Amino acid sequence: MRSLVFNLMLCLSLNPVIASALQQDQSHPPAASTDLLPPIYYDSLLNGLQILIVERPDDERVTIGFMIKSGAAFDLVSKEGTADLTARLILYRLRTIDNKPLAEQFEQLKVRSGLSVSWDATRFWFDAPRQNLVHLFPLLAEIFSRPAFSEEALHALKRERLAELRQRSLSPMERARRAFYRKVFAGHPYARPVEGTAASIENVTLADIRRHFRRFYLANNAVLLVIGNVSSEAAMPIIRPTFGALLKGKLVPATFRAPRRPQGIHITLIDQPKASEASLYMGHLAMPRSSEDFTPFLLLAHALGGTPQSQLARLTGVFAPARVELSSQLEAYRLYGVFSIRARAPSRQVPVVIATLLKFIENTRVNPITPYELVAAKNYFLDHFPERLQTPRDIIEQLEDIELYHLGRDYVHSYYRRIERVTPEQIKQVAARYLSSTDLHIVVVGRAADMEAGLRRIGVLDIVKPTDPAEASIPRQ
């Protein structure tokens, strides 16, 4: 099967007429906008709070999203984890409102809740029966406008978070990923851990929590989303007098020092003396999520290493009989993105794998992907996009991303058109603009004795022992 796929790719690359015909045959018909998402009601309060309401009459419950458009990137140095602790304290089980535990009030209103913190945002979600909204909205407004932070709650939460961090076991691939991010984003907040380290969490004080809340939990830095069996006519009269109590303030700009691409190839080797297999990440900075280059590069990254039929998957045959796994991905955030190739291989094979990948990247800069591969990548994202809008929480996540990354409020309805209009020329342009085989970071986790000599011939090598404090973690975004 692999040889059949390879021969088909070769045929297409040599015969543009066949490729063009295939592209026409496999192109996706544009989806009607009404098939993707019901109409969205947009509004805002005088304090600047943005409000989005999507009515879905068939939903049994109403789901509410509340997003603060700031996250862990604003944590102070040596106090990483402040944003995460602040969010958790807001919903902490020890909290009381009107002398009644918040958990008990949620239980009475049949509320389910959750939260997540990333570098770029802090997100909360709640869902409850429609009839309980008249009580839930005032309760949520109280939570986000008048928090009751206490030393007792902070101390208990820090104990829990420290226990979780100390008990966490990382796979070699995850360890490589976290070290890779520290290198790529060195000197920038994206290099720091969202959840914090044991030392940084110990440093966070109640004053830090209150400061973070005052600076970022502002109405004009937030978005409220309501999805479910409720209309804007029914929801807005409850939202206006309750969430109108949130304070408006001066937004804090993201004035961070920009990370830089390395000059040359820099390799970090994290020694695991007993490991026979190695995990590695290699790559470099890419564009932010809002960039026009994001969609073409996303298609390129998927075609290169996103499926079992991708170019990198076929490249693994070069290393037979050694078992090598290869894939690639693009991750993009508010300020920057990162392109990476991941590999798992026998330790002794790693220098050869890296040398082969460097040649692969350089060739890709000149001849990225065939027209057939571009069509296949387009069809993948077009086919899977409706799956990302199935549940109320799916919809909330998509709408929050649109607001956070300034993707345009027509993003969902124009998604098919955005994907379809990407041309082979755009793919070539982003490949030439962003891919590099000469200036990049490589992180390898494995047995140093098997790889050191070979890696030194490839780039500047830094060996890290397993107990080195440089292995502080970066949680997944």
Indicate the pairing of strand 122-129 with strand 325-332.
Answer: unpaired
Q: Which residue has the tokens 């906008």?
A: 33
For residue 37, pLDDT over 90 is answered with: no
Query: Once rounded to an integer, what is the mean pLDDT over residues 432-457?
Result: 96
For residue 46, pLDDT over 90 is answered with: yes
Q: How deeply is 94 buried, as exposed, middle or buried, from its count of CB atoms within 10 A (0-12, 13-18, 19+)?
A: middle
Q: 11 vs 74, which has greater pLDDT?
A: 74
Q: Given CA atoms 125, 127, 130, 134 in this order, what sign does their dihedral have?
A: negative
Task: Report yes or no: 52 and 223 within 8 Å, Cβ to Cβ.
Answer: yes
Task: Report yes or no: 135 and 62 within 8 Å, Cβ to Cβ.
Answer: no
For residue 476, pLDDT over 60 is answered with: no
Q: 428 vs 101, which has greater pLDDT?
A: 428
For residue 311, pLDDT over 70 is answered with: yes
Give residue-wise pLDDT tens across range 188-212.
999 999 999 999 999 999 999 999 9
For residue 25, pLDDT over 50 is answered with: no
For residue 475, pLDDT over 70 is answered with: no
Q: What are the structure tokens assigned to 134, written together?
A: 């008249």
Q: 13 vs 96, which has greater pLDDT?
A: 96
Give residue-wise pLDDT tens across range 127-146.
999 999 999 999 999 999 98
Instruction: Determine the distance from the C-alpha atom of residue 145 to the mean position of all C-alpha atoms in its chain, rounded to a whole number.
Output: 28
For residue 473, pLDDT over 60 is answered with: no
Q: How deeply is 339 buried, as exposed, middle or buried, from its count of CB atoms within 10 A (0-12, 13-18, 19+)?
A: buried
Mean pLDDT of the chain: 89
Task: Report yes or no: 409 and 272 within 8 Å, Cβ to Cβ.
Answer: no
What is the Cα–Cα distance from 302 to 294, expressed in whole angstroms? 12
Going along the chain from its start, the domains and CATH numbers come out as 39-243 (3.30.830.10), 261-471 (3.30.830.10)
Q: Best-predicted range by mean pLDDT among 384-388, 453-457, 467-471?
A: 453-457
What is the Cα–Cα distance from 352 to 219, expressed in whole angstroms? 54
* Nearest CA-CA partner of 296 in 434, 380, 382, 419: 419
Query: Once rounded to an integer, what is the mean pLDDT over residues 25-40?
Result: 61
pLDDT of residue 467: 64
Task: Report yes or no: 219 and 45 within 8 Å, Cβ to Cβ.
Answer: yes
For residue 362, pLDDT over 60 is answered with: yes
pLDDT of residue 398: 96
pLDDT of residue 227: 97
- Which residues have CB under 8 Å from 23's CB, separation 6+? 371, 372, 374, 375
For residue 469, pLDDT over 80 is answered with: no
Give residue-wise pLDDT tens across range 70-114.
999 999 999 999 999 999 999 987 677 877 888 899 999 999 999
pLDDT of residue 87: 97
Contacts 24+ apart (CB under 8 A), 98-105: 102/143, 105/139
Phi then psi for residue 233, to 5 deg, are: -65, -35
What is the Cα–Cα distance from 334 to 406, expressed in whole angstroms? 9
